[in-house]
Structure 1
Amino acid sequence: MGLYIKKGEPLCVSSGVYESYIREGPYVALRDFAFTDAIEEFKRKTPVPENSYLLLHNFHEYLVAQRYLKKTPCRSIHLGEFGRFDLKEEFDTDV
Structure 2
Amino acid sequence: MLIRKGEIISIASGAFEGFETSGPFVAEQDFDFSDFVDEARATLPESASRLDVQDLMDAIPDQLLKRGLIAKVPCRNLHLGAFGDWDLQETLGDH
For Structure 1 versus Structure 2, the TM-score category normalised by the shorter chain is 0.7 to 0.9
Residue 20 (structure 2) pairs with residue 22 (structure 1): yes
Aligned equivalents of 1:77 and 1:43: distance in 2? 33
- The equivalent residue for 1:39 is 37
4+ residue segments displaced more than 4 Å: 78-82
Q: CA deviation at 1:19?
A: 1.4
How many residue pairs get aligned? The number is 90
The Cα RMSD (Å) is 2.6
Q: CA deviation at 1:38?
A: 1.1
1:15-73 residue CA offsets vs partner (Å, 9 max, x unmatched): 011111100011110000111111122234x4548324232111111111111111111
Structure 1's unaligned 5+ residue stretches are none
Aligned equivalents of 2:78 and 2:44: distance in 1? 39
1:1-95 equivalences under 5 Å are 3-44=1-42, 46-48=43-45, 50-51=48-49, 52-54=52-54, 55-78=56-79, 88-92=89-93, 94=94
Q: Does the 8 Å CA contact 1:11/1:28 hold for their aligned counterparts?
A: yes
Identity, % of aligned positions = 34
Given the two structures, how large is their TM-score scaled by the length of structure 2? 0.74
Structure 2's unaligned 5+ residue stretches are none
